[in-house]
Structure 1
Amino acid sequence: MRADRLVATLLLMQARGRVTAAELASELEISVATARRDLEALSTAGIPVYPQPGRNGGWSLLGGARTDLSGLTATEAQALFLLVGPAAAIAPEAKAALRKLVRALPESFRGDAEAAAEAVVIDPAGWGELDKARPVVVNDLQHAVVRRLKVRLSYAGRRGAPPSERLVDPLGLVAKDDVWYLIAGTERGQRTFRVDRVLEATVTDRPAERPDDFDLSVAWARVVDEMEQNRSLLAATVVMQERHLWVMQDRLGRHCEVLDSPGNGLVKIRVTAPSPLMIAQHLAGWGGSIEVLDPPSVQAELARLGGELVSRYGNDRARSEAAR
């Protein structure tokens, strides 16, 4: 007996006050016999569900009992369906669940909820790219997270190092910029694994340990903060045209900070990255339209990159012009 179907049954009864087994079967796309068994199971489990015989009979929640699952406001219902809608466009299971949830909502909520579900489409592929399939191993890891089972990972080493074997407690999965990450508990504390480096994942039958206060969004926020700090080990001060600032901010995000506006259409910014070379690589394409005030290490890397470009292409250009 599926828990999601029982929840949907409760939602329908709360929204409508009274339902028959036939109505329930039609709404949830199940047989009348299955609908009747579900209603009897709810009653047996102690839920205040009872039948009313007769011509206008059916099943009702005793005394107008309510379940918190459907105590949604109109705004909350719209927010929920805005989140679920994009998933329904690519996952048949999500689409079926969404359809059942819409039917379970109060009549006055349905129109806005359906509109919210259809308001957003997420296309993960860039222009000129094919759709990127979710890694197969993600399904196994997701199963382990939901079932709270330990997973044995074969994890690729860095820079050609041999793979390592690790037994972890999977806590949650995060997809960021088409890259999947697994947050898991290990003997050395909580760790983050890139799923594309997981060579093999074996779900065991051993129960996983999960901290009572674990919150995936909070844990991921800590991971992001740590990674961004590592990417901000070095800073350069740069002066550029203020009208082009939005381009730099769009490319570098939080690694571009405005320091001052000295006037004359200029703006002074702070650019961060792990090394002088990486900062220089970000800035080299701007050519002479920007000025790096410090540090000297970044200035030196820009000069070196410029020298390499002149060495490779300068003579070719000179010969081309001479040939004309």
Structure 2
Amino acid sequence: MRASRLVSILLLLQTRERMTAQQLADTLEVSVRTIYRDMESLSAAGVPLYGDPGHDGGYRLLGGFRTHLTGLTADEAESLFLTGLPTAAADLGLGAVVTAAELKLMAALPAELRERAGRVTERFHLDAPSWYHDAERTPYLTAIADAVWNGLAVRMRYLRWEEPHETTRTVKPYGLVLKAGCWYLVAGNTEQIRTYRVSRILDLDVLDERFDRPDKFDLADYWRTYLEYFDARRHQGEATLRLSPNALDRLPHLMEPAVVHAARRTSTPPDPDGWTRVTIPIESVEQALPGLLKLGADAEILAPAELREQITQTLDTLINIYRRPA
């Protein structure tokens, strides 16, 4: 740990040229007294450190101690700092590793490229979770990530939607996927490969049992296929609607892409009132009702009859509520 910190100090000084003991302590999350001891150790090891006293002083390196990456263009240097997912890395227990890697890269870049790369991190930030949702609790994510990396089987107690809701399974974790702020575990067992939502894992034990990943397994390909299957499985029904021009414009902001694409694909020429008939996929009447209510008076449900009846009952109930004195 201390050796890693000493290297980090050197890289920080290469990158920022001058830092106070307090700045180094804050960055490395240690005490100022620890930094003083580390500086003495580096000096004793022959590192050319110089300390400037006073309020505007600080530690700096004398000449040398700088390497350069060869063949890296300015655009490439900038793009490297757009590939990071600091929040996701922290979730996986890799925050310190990613920070150290970025630090080493910055220290190795020539001054001009280092400045341009730094501007990227100051101007662009990736926030993976979707709006209006708090991040899910995933207490076992770090342990799962370690098992994925080391090829170790895990035994987990998992909360399913179907009955029995709680089940215990031993699986081989092949990979982790971050989708819209939610983590998913892709794992195999004796039967098939399945997907598990990490936040629904109630308990987990990493086993000593090692496994070999299937030679032809590709996590990205699996995930694309899984999403296609997921949409096909849940969209078991259809609804026919009449939509106003305003509803057509708002549809991409209110509905998921599969619904929007289906509406565009099945739309008919506008009727004399300018309204268009479309057919969209739905999971069920109960699931479709809240989403269609968002369209308000800009949509009319034509079929199925059960969905039309449900929205009529909902509107009647709302009318009765709002006719009462406030």
Residue in structure 2 matched with residue 236 of structure 1 by the alignment:
239
Residue in structure 2 matched with residue 320 of structure 1 by the alignment:
325
Q: Does 1:94 align with 2:98?
A: yes
Q: CA deviation at 1:135?
A: 1.4
Residue in structure 1 matched with residue 27 of structure 2 by the alignment:
none
Q: By percentage of residues, which structure has more helix?
A: 1
Cα distance change of structure 1 residues 128 and 188 upon mapping to structure 2, 3 Å threshold: closer
Partners of 2:201 and 2:87 lie apart in 1 by 25
Q: Is the 8 A contact 1:151 1:170 kept in 2?
A: yes
Residue in structure 1 matched with residue 220 of structure 2 by the alignment:
217
Cα distance change of structure 1 residues 154 and 276 upon mapping to structure 2, 3 Å threshold: same
Give deviations 1:275-306, integer Å, cap 9, x for gaps.
Answer: 2332333213434422234x3x2x33232332
Q: Does 1:304 align with 2:304?
A: no
Cα distance change of structure 1 residues 265 and 120 upon mapping to structure 2, 3 Å threshold: farther
Residue in structure 2 matched with residue 271 of structure 1 by the alignment:
280
Residue in structure 1 matched with residue 301 of structure 2 by the alignment:
292
Q: Is the 8 A contact 2:151 2:211 kept in 1?
A: yes
SS in 2 for 1:262: coil
Partners of 2:72 and 2:197 lie apart in 1 by 36
Q: Does 1:136 align with 2:139?
A: yes
Cα distance change of structure 1 residues 281 and 241 upon mapping to structure 2, 3 Å threshold: same
SS in 2 for 1:109: helix
Residue in structure 2 matched with residue 226 of structure 1 by the alignment:
229
Counterparts of residues 144-159 of structure 1 (less than 5 Å): 144-159=147-162
Residue in structure 2 matched with residue 14 of structure 1 by the alignment:
none
Identity over aligned pairs, percent:
29
Partners of 2:275 and 2:123 lie apart in 1 by 41
Partners of 2:286 and 2:277 lie apart in 1 by 20
Q: CA deviation at 1:247?
A: 2.0
List alignment gaps of at least 5 residues for structure 1.
Answer: 10-21, 37-55
Give deviations 1:176-231, integer Å, cap 9, x for gaps.
Answer: 23322100111112110111221111111221221233332222111111111123
Q: Is the 8 A contact 1:284 1:302 kept in 2?
A: no
Partners of 1:123 and 1:169 lie apart in 2 by 30
Q: Aligned pair count?
A: 275
Cα distance change of structure 1 residues 274 and 133 upon mapping to structure 2, 3 Å threshold: closer
Partners of 1:284 and 1:103 lie apart in 2 by 55
- Amino acid paired to 2:325: S
| Cα-Cα RMSD | 4.1
Partners of 2:160 and 2:87 lie apart in 1 by 33
Residue in structure 1 matched with residue 18 of structure 2 by the alignment:
none
